[in-house]
Structure 1
Amino acid sequence: MGVIKQSIVVCMVLVIATRLSRLFETPLPVNFGGTWDPEFKKVADVFKRNVESGKERGAAFAVYYKGKPVVDVWGGYTDLESHTPWKQDTTTLVFSCSKGVAAIIMAKMAEMGTLDYSKPVSYYWPEFAQADKDNITVEMLISHQGGLVYLDEQLSIYDYKNNRQRWQDILAKQKTAWPAGEKFGYHALTFGLFVDELIQRVDPAHRDTDTIFMEEISKPLDIDFRMKVPLEDWYRTARLVPRSKFQLLFDAFQYRRYLKPIYDIVFHPDSLMARSVSPVIEFAQRTDVLNNPYIREVTVSSLTGTGTARGLAKMYGIIANGGAHDGNQLLSKQSINRLSKPIVRGSDAVMNTGEVSEIGLGTLYRKNPWGEETVGHTGHGGQVAVGDIKNNIGISYLTNHLTIHGVGDDPRYQDLEKILYETIAELEKK
């Protein structure tokens, strides 16, 4: 039996077993809460229906429109085993939406005059120049052109805690997978490893990424988000419910844009795709290792950002509405304009899906239902955090019940996005 046939058989067995197990589950009471502007009631109704039907098992959805909160809803459970309901202050891991937050932090640093996108990374981090990386600029690094997709020597989260020198040395000596600037390919995990080290070296006070975000953005603007989870805040973060690699492979036969990347991860460990998700030992294991609080207290801006949908919707709502809120400036219009323009466009050399991707200064672009660009970042499992600058909208959908989706194509999110834009279209006609 061929490899593909074997994988199909295994996946079918998994699906049948999962569905049979659910037949014996005791249904939990419907949990739904939130607030919304009366004009956006249809949006809240769609979210509520998804919760009631079981399509939505645990998530939050928030929208800012023209600078004001218009939808803030949550529902389902943060931990099905303990019957813990999703609440107003529940946070969850946002995976690659973290990259968009890191991009905003760097844009803020550029405004402050401490960071120059055009300078070589080695200008701020001399040891980085090893292995012919002296020509990699900050812009190349954060737009996934640097070729630093994997690490030849794996790191451990505990290296960060107990042996920072080893952590730094492995990053500095890493060679590129291709000559910098020759092409681009998604740096799934290494993005945060390199960017966090760069940010701390650029900052005059050598603050880490989480501290800079807290002091420069989160606290002044009252944004409920962190780039990690401090142990004292662990009590309110949702327990992740991931899909196994073989479950993801089965899903990929339904959502075929993911088939090549998932197939490479499962069956081609030497491929760029497989190597791109394994630089950190703990992250290369099962996704549910991210339910370990001692791992989550370390910032890796590729994926460890944790917060509420309300917080991310507010941040992108501010960006989509000119960059200021209640007298506090998040970003200037010039910086927002810069973030809104793709740096590279074309076929991703790592994902290798054949689709056209657009990447900016740490940001990822996707089109809204009207075919217009939004800026921000999506994340594995269905996570979305974007700003629609043309229409003054900030949106975030966050869930702990993870799916294969990672580019804003999760049906749970698309239900909400569709009715949201229909509602706004109706309002604009008035």
Structure 2
Amino acid sequence: MNKIINPQKNEWSELLKRPSQTIEAIETAVTSVFDDIKRNGDDGIKRYTSIFDGAELNEMYVSDKEFLDAEKEISSELKEAISLAKRNIEKFHSAQKTNKVVVETTEGVACWQEKRPIQKVGLYIPGGTAPLFSSVLMLAIPAQIAGCNEIILATPPNKKGEINPAIIYTAQLCGVTKILKVGGIQAIAGLTFGTETIPQVYKIFGPGNQYVTAAKQLATKYGVAIDMPAGPSELLVVADETANASFVASDLLSQAEHGVDSQVILVSTSLAKLKEVEKEIESQIQNLSRKKIAIQAIENSKLIFIETKEVALELINEYGPEHFIICTNENDYYIDGVQNAGSVFIGDYTPESAGDYASGTNHTLPTNGYSKAYSGVNLDSFLKAISFQKISEKGIQNIGSAIELMAEAEGLDAHKNAVTLRLNSLKK
């Protein structure tokens, strides 16, 4: 890992850059696929699935037989683990339900807000180097709690055109309507435009690589909403001299193994601890099954020594990590001071892996600094807030003259007249 000692603030912008390909190269590829699929529908979907995934699709959706076979292939132990995670995720997201908000702003003027589910949603589940069935839980459960009518899941097939059985099993358990054997740019394009086989959705959710992230952002130009820009995984750990170096190294490596474009950062106010963690990383990485991926990700990653907690916190907020782990003797300082983070993990016994799987919080989070403006996926992500108002005769008399004056000042005579007619009718 790259080691940086007391970087100056004017160096932070360069220091905190994420590893990524040039935007121009990505956008060109994504736009080309979108244009093709908009014109050619299913034929384009199948062609790109053959090119990118090496799979020839006869059927685009998982069949009833595949659902049954998947359930048989999952061990009882894994089923129990998935059920535990499901219960915790349901509990946390169900608690996010809110009641109707009703306010009488002025006598006779009633305003209220009610939430309605997004009717058709698309869930993207990465399935390349790691089939993320945990992401099915994170997306399908809140969609089901919210009451979404149609939940379409898209995930890339293997070369035989098969979907990982854990993804199929979890999707069925969580109320997914259909499972589409399509991934990458072509999946996002299919959900954006709709094809002969794929329904168009109103909002697309889910993590993915840089191409999937760019495709989701392009989808917004065609009237489809997205949860957030969620690209390659990232983690920042802040640690002082009291931190457990072995734990810290394991957390850094847990994110590094996601993909070669992942990034992990250690910010430490202890130079000795920073060096200790570095040695632990070198030791632990040797035993990883995804060692090659982790090594490449570690090359994009950094060990940063900062002398004071005040400057450390400032740097952390500037970075805006997707995942933020706090392992210090002054955890409350960082808890109270953090402004930009997707999800925060506190103390020696709160690994980031807990949030990825079973603690109950959602692991679909903003990356690339977007935590400065975006929240992670939550129940409200699958809902729309609709405002209502009802005004009585007394109410329009109370606010009518103010409306007339404001409309007249903006030069909107019809707006004024809509009120004036009503007020005059009450004078008769």
Tell me which protein shows more helix as a share of its residues.
2
Same fold (TM over 0.5): no
TM-score interval w.r.t. the shorter chain? under 0.3
TM-score for both structures, normalised by structure 2? 0.27
When normalised by structure 1's length, the TM-score is 0.27
Q: Which has the larger radius of gyration?
A: 2
